[in-house]
Amino acid sequence: MNVSENEINVPPPRPLIQRLGAILWPSFFAAGVATMVLFAFVDPIELAAISFPELEISRETGYAVAFLGFWLGNASACSFTWLLLRPRSRFHASTAERPRTTT
C-alpha cells in the first residue's frame, strides 16, 4: 500500500562508486589546493625542523605526507557530511516523511 509513497520519499541509495566519488574527489581537489597554498609559504624542510627535527624528512616526503594528510582530513569531513545527509527514513521507515494526507 505504502510502497509507491515510499518510492517517492525514499530515493534508492546511490551506487557505491558514486558515493565514493562524491567523497574522495572533492577532498582530493581541496587537498591539492591546500598543499599548494601551504608549501608556497612554508618550506617542508623548515617545517620538519620545527616539528620533527630528529627525523630526516626530505621535501618530497613533506609534500606527500601533507597532501595525503589533507586528503584524509578532507575525506573524513566529506564522509561525515554524507553520514548526516542520509535520509533517516531509509533506516527507520516508521519515521519516513510522507505527504500529509488524512491522518
User: How is residue 10 written as a grid cell?
Assistant: 525514499
CA dihedral 20, 26, 32, 35 (to 10 degrees): -100
Query: Could you tell me the end-to-end alpha-carbon distance of the chain, in angstroms, rounded to an integer?
Result: 15
Taking CB under 8 A as the rule, does residue 2 contact other proteins? yes
Other beta carbons within 10 angstroms of residue 40's beta carbon come to 7
User: Which residues in 11-40 contact other proteins (CB under 8 A)?
Assistant: 12-15, 17-18, 21-22, 25-26, 36-37, 39-40
SS3 call for 77:
helix
Residues 39-98 that bind other proteins (CB under 8 A): 39-41, 43, 49, 58-61, 63-64, 90, 93-94, 96
User: Contact positions toward other proteins, by CB under 8 A?
Assistant: 1-3, 5-7, 10, 12-15, 17-18, 21-22, 25-26, 36-37, 39-41, 43, 49, 58-61, 63-64, 90, 93-94, 96
